[in-house]
Amino acid sequence: MQGFTTIPFKTESEHGLTQVNGIAKFSSAGVVLEFESKLFGLIGSGVKEVRLPVSEILDVNFRKGFFKRGAKIVIRMKTFTKLAEVPNQDGKLTLKLVRDDFDRGQSAVEQLQKDLNQHAEAQPPPHTPVGELFNEESEDETKQLN
Protein backbone atom coordinates (compact mmCIF):
# COMPACT_ATOMS: atom_id res chain seq x y z
CA MET A 1 0.00 0.00 0.00
CA GLN A 2 1.41 3.38 -0.98
CA GLY A 3 1.29 6.22 1.52
CA PHE A 4 0.63 8.99 -0.98
CA THR A 5 -1.93 10.19 -3.50
CA THR A 6 -0.69 10.89 -7.02
CA ILE A 7 -2.35 13.61 -9.09
CA PRO A 8 -1.29 14.76 -12.59
CA PHE A 9 -1.26 18.54 -13.03
CA LYS A 10 -0.48 21.36 -15.43
CA THR A 11 0.62 24.89 -14.70
CA GLU A 12 2.55 27.70 -16.36
CA SER A 13 5.00 30.43 -15.53
CA GLU A 14 3.83 33.87 -14.51
CA HIS A 15 4.01 35.28 -18.03
CA GLY A 16 2.81 32.11 -19.76
CA LEU A 17 6.07 31.49 -21.62
CA THR A 18 6.78 28.19 -19.88
CA GLN A 19 4.28 25.33 -19.71
CA VAL A 20 4.65 22.71 -17.00
CA ASN A 21 3.30 19.14 -16.93
CA GLY A 22 3.84 17.02 -13.87
CA ILE A 23 2.70 14.77 -11.07
CA ALA A 24 2.06 15.87 -7.49
CA LYS A 25 2.43 13.26 -4.75
CA PHE A 26 0.52 14.22 -1.60
CA SER A 27 1.44 12.50 1.68
CA SER A 28 1.42 13.26 5.41
CA ALA A 29 5.03 14.50 5.04
CA GLY A 30 4.12 17.09 2.39
CA VAL A 31 4.02 17.29 -1.39
CA VAL A 32 6.56 16.02 -3.91
CA LEU A 33 6.34 17.57 -7.37
CA GLU A 34 7.85 15.84 -10.40
CA PHE A 35 7.54 18.01 -13.48
CA GLU A 36 8.95 19.02 -16.83
CA SER A 37 9.01 22.61 -18.04
CA LYS A 38 8.80 23.49 -21.72
CA LEU A 39 9.61 26.94 -23.05
CA PHE A 40 6.91 27.92 -25.57
CA GLY A 41 5.65 24.32 -25.28
CA LEU A 42 8.62 23.09 -27.34
CA ILE A 43 11.98 23.24 -25.58
CA GLY A 44 12.06 20.88 -22.57
CA SER A 45 14.27 21.38 -19.53
CA GLY A 46 14.26 17.80 -18.26
CA VAL A 47 12.38 16.33 -15.32
CA LYS A 48 12.80 18.08 -11.96
CA GLU A 49 11.73 17.06 -8.47
CA VAL A 50 10.85 19.53 -5.71
CA ARG A 51 9.86 18.52 -2.19
CA LEU A 52 7.51 20.75 -0.22
CA PRO A 53 7.59 19.54 3.42
CA VAL A 54 4.60 20.11 5.69
CA SER A 55 6.74 22.34 7.92
CA GLU A 56 7.19 24.83 5.04
CA ILE A 57 3.62 24.83 3.68
CA LEU A 58 1.55 27.80 4.85
CA ASP A 59 -1.76 26.54 3.48
CA VAL A 60 -3.33 24.54 0.69
CA ASN A 61 -6.72 25.13 -0.91
CA PHE A 62 -8.88 23.35 -3.46
CA ARG A 63 -10.73 25.52 -5.97
CA LYS A 64 -13.62 23.61 -7.54
CA GLY A 65 -14.03 25.36 -10.86
CA PHE A 66 -17.27 24.97 -12.83
CA PHE A 67 -18.88 21.52 -13.10
CA LYS A 68 -15.58 19.89 -12.12
CA ARG A 69 -13.80 21.72 -14.95
CA GLY A 70 -11.01 24.11 -14.11
CA ALA A 71 -10.34 22.62 -10.66
CA LYS A 72 -7.13 23.88 -9.06
CA ILE A 73 -4.99 23.17 -6.04
CA VAL A 74 -3.36 26.33 -4.67
CA ILE A 75 -0.36 25.98 -2.34
CA ARG A 76 1.22 28.87 -0.42
CA MET A 77 4.59 28.45 1.28
CA LYS A 78 6.02 30.02 4.45
CA THR A 79 9.25 30.94 2.65
CA PHE A 80 10.02 31.89 -0.91
CA THR A 81 13.01 29.55 -1.14
CA LYS A 82 11.10 26.42 -2.21
CA LEU A 83 8.54 28.41 -4.17
CA ALA A 84 11.31 29.84 -6.35
CA GLU A 85 12.10 26.31 -7.57
CA VAL A 86 8.67 25.91 -9.21
CA PRO A 87 6.62 28.09 -11.57
CA ASN A 88 4.51 30.33 -9.34
CA GLN A 89 2.22 33.28 -9.69
CA ASP A 90 1.98 35.95 -7.00
CA GLY A 91 3.71 33.71 -4.46
CA LYS A 92 1.30 30.82 -5.04
CA LEU A 93 1.79 27.47 -6.71
CA THR A 94 -1.33 26.69 -8.75
CA LEU A 95 -1.81 23.12 -9.96
CA LYS A 96 -4.49 22.80 -12.65
CA LEU A 97 -6.35 19.48 -12.68
CA VAL A 98 -8.32 17.68 -15.37
CA ARG A 99 -11.93 16.72 -14.70
CA ASP A 100 -11.09 13.04 -14.05
CA ASP A 101 -8.82 13.98 -11.11
CA PHE A 102 -11.35 16.26 -9.38
CA ASP A 103 -12.33 13.85 -6.57
CA ARG A 104 -8.79 12.62 -5.99
CA GLY A 105 -7.48 16.19 -5.83
CA GLN A 106 -10.18 17.28 -3.41
CA SER A 107 -9.54 14.36 -1.03
CA ALA A 108 -5.74 14.87 -1.21
CA VAL A 109 -6.14 18.53 -0.23
CA GLU A 110 -8.51 17.67 2.63
CA GLN A 111 -6.03 15.11 3.98
CA LEU A 112 -3.09 17.51 3.65
CA GLN A 113 -5.07 20.21 5.49
CA LYS A 114 -5.61 17.73 8.36
CA ASP A 115 -1.89 16.90 8.33
CA LEU A 116 -1.02 20.62 8.43
CA ASN A 117 -3.31 21.11 11.44
CA GLN A 118 -1.77 18.12 13.25
CA HIS A 119 1.72 19.44 12.51
CA ALA A 120 0.79 22.89 13.87
CA GLU A 121 -0.67 21.36 17.06
CA ALA A 122 2.48 19.28 17.61
CA GLN A 123 4.73 22.35 17.54
CA PRO A 124 5.91 23.82 20.86
CA PRO A 125 4.22 27.05 21.94
CA PRO A 126 5.85 30.26 20.73
CA HIS A 127 8.47 31.82 23.00
CA THR A 128 7.30 34.44 25.45
CA PRO A 129 8.97 37.81 24.89
CA VAL A 130 11.48 38.65 27.64
CA GLY A 131 9.60 41.85 28.49
CA GLU A 132 6.54 39.82 29.49
CA LEU A 133 8.51 37.56 31.82
CA PHE A 134 8.93 40.35 34.32
CA ASN A 135 5.84 42.03 35.65
CA GLU A 136 5.75 45.74 36.42
CA GLU A 137 5.79 45.18 40.20
CA SER A 138 9.30 43.73 40.06
CA GLU A 139 10.38 46.77 38.05
CA ASP A 140 9.04 49.07 40.78
CA GLU A 141 10.96 47.09 43.41
CA THR A 142 14.13 47.48 41.39
CA LYS A 143 13.66 51.26 41.21
CA GLN A 144 13.34 51.41 45.01
CA LEU A 145 16.71 49.71 45.41
CA ASN A 146 18.47 52.54 43.58
pLDDT at 139: 61
Count the neighbouring beta carbons within 10 Å of the beta carbon of residue 47: 11
Cβ partners under 8 Å of residue 54, min gap 6: 28, 29, 30, 112, 115, 116, 119
Q: What is the mean pLDDT of the chain?
A: 79
How many whole angstroms separate alpha carbon 14 and alpha carbon 26? 24
Q: Rounded to an integer, what distance in angstroms lies between the CA atom of residue 72 and that of residue 75?
A: 10
- Note the pLDDT of residue 23: 92
Question: One-letter amino acid identity for 37?
Answer: S
| pTM of the entire predicted model | 0.71
- How many C-beta atoms surround the C-beta of residue 91 within 10 A? 10
What are the boundaries of each domain within the chain? 5-145
At 142, which amino acid appears? T
Q: What are 94's strand-pairing partners?
A: 74
How many CB atoms are located within 10 Å of the residue 58 CB? 13
- CB-side neighbour CA atoms (13 Å) of 63: 12
Type and span of the H or E element at 123: none
- The rounded distance, in Å, linking the Cα atoms of 61 and 110 is 8
Contact 109, 21 (CB under 8 A): no
CATH number of 5-145: 2.30.29.30
- Lowest average pLDDT, out of 78-82, 97-101, 119-123, goes to 119-123
Residue 37 to residues 8, 13, 123, Cα–Cα distance (Å): 14, 9, 36
Q: Residues 38-96: pLDDT tens digits?
A: 777 677 778 888 888 888 888 888 888 787 778 888 988 888 887 777 777 777 888 88
Q: Are 105 and 7 in contact (CB under 8 A)?
A: yes
